[in-house]
Structure 1
């Protein structure tokens, strides 16, 4: 459809018809895409799961072998063109944030303010000139409100 302006209800009727047809075409393509995705997943997901299970089994055997070698030689490392095996020590931490907040120095505690706009907005009233007042009738600085008309378009579903 061209970018011509709608000038009468017949033009509006045709535009809504075109919108409905475009939605139907998209729905058809969505069904086709989902069908193709389902067919792909039918072979892809099981094959991926099988490989992942096998990979985990191989990694487990490698770790077992490495730990055996590590017990005999704490500096043991293995490197080849297929990969390498080594170790890295790390520390795993568990902590209770709430308990720490009460006990650590203030320089390690960060507090942030966050406005809950959705809740605050419910207490405000917009005026015709764009200003906004709170529950006490005071103008709220930093907030303006503009009335907007949103046009709702809902094409029907189905055949002609």
Structure 2
């Protein structure tokens, strides 16, 4: 029996396609496992070197920062520039505050309020009519339509 237009014509063909699907998924699973093993091997080689370099970078940066701070104490305008890089300063302010405590004290123009729909809760209150339109709990039409969809579920043997 031949497949017409690439479509399955009977259950025997369906059986064969399910078998093919199961084998393809098994093949993909083996490839995924091999990839994970290779990634683990790469990480075993890469991670120790990365950790060593990160520690060394932090040590060198600490030495440079220490030198810069000693120079800065003598000259607040100190800056070093070479073909290998620049060492300078940037000042910033960090504010320790508690929003919950301040929100009641400050003027309303400094307080943000956001209005956001809780779709999951609102959807539960809607009633769907036969034609796909929706009415709310007051019986009023709302600008929401529903399209029913059928999803075919395919689960091969041994699949989770």
Global fold match (TM > 0.5): yes
Once the 2 structures are TM-superposed, how far is the Cα of residue 11 of structure 1 from its aligned partner?
A: 1.4
What's the TM-score, normalizing by structure 1?
0.89
Match status 1:96 vs 2:98: yes
How many pairs align? 156
- The one-character-per-residue Cα deviations of 1:15-46 (angstroms, maximum 9, x if unpaired) are 11111111111101101100110000001111
Q: Deviations over 1:92-113 (max 9, x none)?
A: 1222222222222222222111
Aligned pairs for 1:1-160 (under 5 A) are: 4-136=6-138, 138-157=139-158
Supply the distance in 2 between the matched residues of 1:130 and 1:23 (Cα, whole angstroms).
Answer: 38
* 2: CA distance, partners of 1:11 / 1:3: 14
- Partner of 1:84: helix, strand, or coil? strand
What is the distance in 1 between the residues matched to 2:30 and 2:45?
24
TM score, norm. by length of structure 2: 0.89
Query: CA separation in 2, counterparts of 1:67 and 1:100?
Result: 36
- State the distance in 2 between where 1:18 and 1:105 align: 68
Name the CA distance, whole Å, in 1 between partners of 2:127 and 2:156: 34
Q: After TM superposition, where is structure 1 displaced by more than 3 Å over at least 4 residues in a row?
A: none
Structure 1's unaligned 5+ residue stretches are none
Structure with more contact order per residue of length (Cα contacts < 8 Å, sep ≥ 6): 1
Distance 1:3 1:21 in 2: 23
8 Å contact from structure 1 (residues 123, 135) kept in 2? yes
Query: Whole-Å Cα distance in 1 between the matches of residues 135 and 38 of structure 2?
Result: 55
